[in-house]
Structure 1
Amino acid sequence: MDGVLFTSVFVTLFVIMDPVGTIPIFLSLTGGRSPQVSRRLAWQAVTVSFGVISAFAFFGQQILSYLHISLPALQCAGGLLLLLVALELLTGKESEPTAAAETNVALVPLGTPLLAGPGAIVATMVFSKQVDDFKQFAAVALGVIAVHISIWLAMRFSLPILRVIRESGVLLVTRIAGLLLSAIAVQMVANAVRAFIAGEG
């Protein structure tokens, strides 16, 4: 296995996907659910993220080309979707879709676009282009798997925090998560706009 490539893939995706930064958002989105349900949502979110990133690693360029979608457009769409969720967390509207107990937040927004967002997708597509033999393929694959294991561990072992901070703490974490998520969303849209402008120039 190519150790240098593995390290590069792991570090890059770890920074982009930010397992530690995902914890407050995960706690806010799973607040009010039982520990068993929260653990299942953590597992589902990681599975969805891994599936999306794997699909784009193999077929990403073909998918975007077939649908005539540019990477900045994908990034802007992900940013707008995250912004909607962030506004819900900030305002605390219980009537919103993700506030319902039956809503599977593991799919959206956790699995995608928060974890498997445009940044992670593009990075994985770039690394997949460097694969020329089995050793490099194994390095990229194991790097992606290792990052997702890190994300699952971060979310899985963040659950005891809920029992400590209780309802008032969950409300505070929810507002903080909304602020962080809105900043991430605005940055994604800003990056997409800059990419659009650079492309037009």
Structure 2
Amino acid sequence: MNEFFDVRLFTEVFITLFVIMDPPGTVPIFLGLTSAMTHKQRAKAARTAIFVAAGVILAFALFGQQLLSYMHISLPALQASGGLLLLLIAMELLTGKMEEPQAGTKGVNVALVPLGTPLLAGPGAIVASMLFVQRSDGSARDWVSIAIGFLVVCVCLWIAMRFANVVHRILGESGTILVTRIAGLLLAAIAVQLIADAVIAFVQTA
């Protein structure tokens, strides 16, 4: 089994991405962004968000370094842009703008942005996946370990969002609004931290 699977690398990938992508922490944000949806629409949004996040992270893991180098974009720049986008989303959660029902493809749009990216496939997850790929020796053993670790995190994310409906029923409308406001505040803090870390990285590399 050890010839085809590295338990240590799997554990490192799983723990790192689990902490960064934070499945339990996505529940209140997911509830806030999908509060105007039905049960079926919310389930579809969860699946779409997982597929989008997985696609974005895999694409950057495989081709991200070449793409950033070609476009002369540094990792701190990517991190700062993600922080700014998250800050805008946090403001919408805090002001309640996300809770206003909209016609058309709102569920699809929310699943793509901001759920799929940058909330799930954010700068942290993208950079971490790129680093894991760069550190691997290119063997099938390392690839399998990284892939399974990433897949398990995606399953955890899907479970967290799939049972968000249960949380919604327990909290009710008023409780969901309260949790949404708190999530907006925390998301704003995360966004500011991302921007601050990017500024520090810019200064250190200047």
TM-score where L is the length of structure 1: 0.94
Shift of residue 129, structure 1, vs aligned partner: 1.3
What residue is the counterpart of 2:150 in the other structure? 144
Aligned match for 1:41, one of 28, 39, 45: 45
Query: Deviation digits for residues 149-184 of structure 1, max 9, x if unmatched?
Result: 111111111211112222211211111111011011
User: Counterpart in 1 of 2:95?
Assistant: 91
**Per-residue deviation at 1:99?**
5.7
Instruction: Give distance in 2, aligned partners of 1:23 and 1:170.
Output: 11
Structure 2 residue 62 is matched with structure 1 residue 62:
no
Residue correspondence of structure 1 range 28-177 to structure 2 within 5 A: 28-93=32-97, 100=102, 102-103=105-106, 104-132=109-137, 133-177=139-183
- Indicate if the aligned counterparts of 1:24 and 1:177 stay in contact, CA closer than 8 A: yes
Query: SS at the partner of 1:129?
Result: helix
- Contact between 2:94 and 2:180, CA under 8 Å: does it hold in 1? yes
Aligned to 2:187: 181
Residue identity matched to 1:113: P
Taking only the aligned residue pairs, the percentage that are identical comes to 59
1:198 aligns with 2:200: no
Tell me what 1:2 maps to: 6
* Gap regions ≥5 residues in structure 2: none
Counterpart CA distance in 1 for 2:116 and 2:50 is: 6
Deviation at 1:91, TM superposition (A): 1.2
* Other structure's SS at 2:73 match: coil
Q: Which amino acid aligns with 2:135?
A: Q
Separation in structure 1 between the aligned mates of residue 25 and residue 140 of structure 2, nearest angstrom: 33
Is the contact between residue 93 and residue 99 of structure 1 (CA under 8 Å) also seen in structure 2?
no
Q: What is the TM-score when the length of structure 2 is the normalising length?
A: 0.92
Distance (whole Å) between structure 2 residues aligned to residue 77 and residue 9 of structure 1: 24
Taking only aligned residues, the RMSD between alpha carbons, in angstroms, comes to 1.4
Count of paired positions: 198
Q: Distance in 1 between matches of 2:84 and 2:191?
A: 6
